[in-house]
């Protein structure tokens, strides 16, 4: 009795800003991918394949947030924003390699398989070296550990989702679109 609670600070505005920033980064990334694919790959279908793969990877990342009970906060969304750039890179690499296989005269199905198989190890090593930088942040103690653990998790989950989508979904979509 006699205790009054007042709201001294609300982080909802900052969280809304961060979510808006994530949306803007996704849209800007997809627009840039579209421009680069049209200019360098001479294809209008490729940006859609890459865009869908990136969106699926982001959805899988949010699913991993839910499964591992990671809260969506400013730090985790900042990590996801960083991961989106790497997601774009993984998708472009696989799609470009499949296209190169097709240009060498391979049939469509064989180029999808060979192009993806050729990129599995380089993408894995690239993702693991990036994750290796963030893993020590998980083991930090105190408030810094609590803060950076979310960022490390979101980058790791984003890269894992991107890797899985890049080697499973992207070749299938490439086959279906072409």
55-79 pLDDT per residue, tens? 999 999 999 999 999 888 878 888 8
pLDDT in tens, 114-137: 999 999 999 999 999 988 988 787
Measured distance CA(19)–CA(135) in Å, rounded? 24
Cβ neighbors of 133 (< 8 A, separation 6 or more) are: none
Quick one: pLDDT at residue 59?
94
Q: What is the pTM of this model?
A: 0.83
Residue with tokens 């472009």: 92
Contacts of 106-115 with CB under 8 Å at 24 or more apart are 108/175, 108/178, 109/175, 112/171, 112/172, 112/174, 112/175, 113/171, 115/171
For residue 40, the SS3 value is helix
pLDDT in tens, 3-21: 888 877 777 777 788 788 8
């Amino acid at each position: 009795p006699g205790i009054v609670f007042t709201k001294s600070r609300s982080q909802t505005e900052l969280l809304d800003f961060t979510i808006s920033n994530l949306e803007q980064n996704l849209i800007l990334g997809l627009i840039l991918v579209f421009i680069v694919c049209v200019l360098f790959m001479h294809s209008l279908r490729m940006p859609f394949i890459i865009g869908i793969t990136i969106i699926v990877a982001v959805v899988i990342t949010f699913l991993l947030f839910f499964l591992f009970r990671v809260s969506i906060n400013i730090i985790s969304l900042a990590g996801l924003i960083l991961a989106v750039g790497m997601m774009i890179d993984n998708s472009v690499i696989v799609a470009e390699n499949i296209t190169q296989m097709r240009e060498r005269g391979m049939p469509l199905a064989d180029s999808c398989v060979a192009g993806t198989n050729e990129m599995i190890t380089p993408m894995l090593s690239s993702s693991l070296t990036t994750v290796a930088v963030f893993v020590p942040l998980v083991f930090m103690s105190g408030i810094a550990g609590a803060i950076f653990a979310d960022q490390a998790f979101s980058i790791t989950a984003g890269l894992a989702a991107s890797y899985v989508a890049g080697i499973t979904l992207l070749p299938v979509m490439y086959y279906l679109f072409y």
